[in-house]
Amino acid sequence: MLPAYLPKPETGFGKTYVKTNGECKMQMNCDSALLARQSIVDAMRSFEEKGFNHGSSGNISVREGGHIWVTPTGATSTMDPQDMSLVSLEGEHLAGKIPSSEWRIHTEIMRAHPEAGAVVHSHADACVALSCLRKPLPPFHYMIASFGGSEVPCASYRVFGSDALAYEVVRAMGHHRACLMASHGMVVWGRDLAHARLLAEKLETLARQYILACQIGTPALLSDVELTEVRERYGFYGSQPMPR
């Protein structure tokens, strides 16, 4: 069943052919859908400018009820909002272009984490480099706690665009908000796209800093007790004075 917001002719935004009962019917998209699509385009362009993605690598999704808007397969930073693909959380392609080959990662993360509003998958250089070691990113810095655990796990390698890869990502991620993908890249989820973008940029920065630290020596790692203290302090951060 298509979401109610798709057929809304009065908005005047670009036409999309939507599959319903084996037929293609022309629909129009409402303002909320356009905003979601545009936010994905803006994020993809920003990541391209920052060197997080190259060419058609990487993909982004935003939740819309029981569906997601996700970048289409082969998408580059020159994409337009009307290029986005609408996919149900059950995996049905509802509208737009053919979805990213990694759409299953996005739907499965959204299903596993109902609080997730957006998912970012990137081939950012430092994360790719670390993913080739096929090891977690350890707690060398207190900001590792930002991702919900004592490390950023690494999902086992599976060929790109496969259901097996999506399974490994969700399994490795567990309660974390991010994971590396062996010999591939990284993926994060956030409560909305702004949050997911922030976490993706933070993870790439930490990966680069870890590589730098390893070039000097063996980084010291924070203990579970120290990380628990960090997480407690994150509960105050930005909302009230920090305990001294």
Determine which one of 64, 102, 108, 201 is catalytic. Answer: 102
Model pTM score? 0.84
CATH tag, 39-234: 3.40.225.10
Catalytic: 102?
yes
Whole-number Å distance between alpha carbons of 241 and 57 = 41
Domain boundaries, the chain: 39-234
Question: pLDDT 10s per residue in the chain (244 long)?
Answer: 333 333 332 222 233 434 444 333 334 346 778 889 999 999 999 988 888 887 777 899 999 989 999 999 987 777 888 899 999 999 999 999 999 999 999 999 999 999 999 999 999 999 999 999 999 999 999 999 999 999 999 999 999 999 999 999 999 999 999 999 999 999 999 999 999 999 999 999 999 999 999 999 999 999 999 999 999 888 776 566 656 6
